[in-house]
Amino acid sequence: MAEIIQRDGTWTFDGESVRIVPGRGKGIHPLREGLGERVVPLRALAGISFEPDRKGGRLRLRLRDGACPVLRAAGGRLKDAADPYQLAVEKDRGGVAEYFADEVRNALLIEQVPADAVDGFLLPGPAVPVAGGGGDGTASFDGETVRLTWNWKAKEVKTSGGPVSFPVSEVTGVHWMPAIGLENGHLRFVRGDGTAPVRAAEYDLYSLDLWGLSKKEYTAVLVRLPGAAGRTAGPAQIAAPATALKATAPAPAAPAPAPPADDHDVLLRRLRELGELHRSGVLTDDEFAAAKQAVLKNL
């Protein structure tokens, strides 16, 4: 097991998943606090890196495209401090961060996890009910119905009609654009086939206008709306993340002899076979560790 404990949070890797527990206190972004503890399965990862700098550095998990509803909804606009899959590393813990990254890389290699996009979320959605305020109103979701209530800052086109409610079965997409600097953001619910003309969020009855210069971003709560996938999907996919598909394959009766050191493809297949044997219980933890090390030496 690999673990790194920092003020920014704690990451633990047990060979199958990375458990992320955000830190507490003034320096932790509200979005990360709101999301809370995250367990990232190995199959959701495309890679990991440690980026050292003069202050210490930063560990970054790179997720497969479509694996996380938060990243899909934000569309690449998350600041480093708000990204739940980044960890600020203190200067004297760079060696631990490098070791942590190496352990995850080795596991990805052994399990032969692909780096391409996935068809459904591999990380769970947030719990409901949930509610949060935006620049011109408040959004709430009870698991079945989305409700938008306007405040005094909203345009008349919104306030004149009163609150808006619609079932989640009508939602075909959720787009979240965090406010950055002086640029406004929005939380937009797409209904129907998505071909209707797109209006500015401040005039759209199915959008919240997000703005403000405060570090406390309202979107820390709003992104928790289930189905924040930022893509077209059916009602079932919006209501809850898709269940991860579990690959199955018959396990060989016993480990095969180690392949020649010059056959790289064979070695990679061997690593994958060892992982399958370990998961199925054919190999014990000690046997798996010894066999893995033998193959990695040839690599």
- Give 160's contacts (C-beta < 8 A, 6+ positions apart): none
β 45-53/2-6 pair status? unpaired
Q: Which residue has the higher pLDDT, 239 or 271?
A: 271
Which region holds residue 63: left if phi is over 0, alpha if psi is between -120 and 50, else beta? beta
Give the pLDDT score at 128.
Answer: 74
Q: What confidence tier does 52 reach under pLDDT thresholds 50, 70, 90?
A: very high
Q: Is the model's pLDDT at 179 over the cut of 60?
A: yes
**C-beta separation of 56 from 93 below 8 A:** yes
Cβ atoms within 10 Å of 56's Cβ, excluding its own: 17
Report yes or no: 125 and 227 within 8 Å, Cβ to Cβ.
yes
End-to-end, the C-alpha distance of the chain in Å comes to 22
Question: Quick one: pLDDT at residue 64?
Answer: 94
Residue 259 has a pLDDT of 44
Q: What is the residue type of 272? A: R
Are 124 and 34 in contact by the 8 Å Cβ rule? The answer is no
Task: Give the pLDDT of residue 3.
Answer: 96
Q: Is the dihedral of CA 101, 105, 106, 107 positive or negative?
A: positive
Q: Work out whether strand 38-41 and strand 17-22 pair parallel, antiparallel, or are unpaired.
A: antiparallel
List for the chain the helix, strand, coil content (%; round to 5): 30, 25, 45
If DSSP codes are grouped into helix, strand and coil, which group holds residue 34?
A: helix
Whether the predicted pLDDT of 66 surpasses 90 = no
Q: How many CB atoms lie within 10 A of CB 248?
A: 8
Please give the radius of gyration of the chain, using alpha carbons only, rounded to the nearest integer: 22
Q: Is the pLDDT of residue 262 over 90?
A: no
d(CA 244, CA 174): 21
Per-residue pLDDT at 271 = 74
For the segment 251-271, the average pLDDT, to the nearest whole number, is 52
Q: Across all residues in the chain, what is the average pLDDT?
A: 77
Contact 30, 81 (CB under 8 A): no
In 10 A of CB 285, how many CB atoms?
A: 9
Looking at residue 228, its amino acid is A
What is d(CA 202, CA 206) in angstroms, rounded to the nearest whole number?
10
- Which residues have a Cβ under 8 Å from the Cβ of 265 and sit 6 or more positions away? none
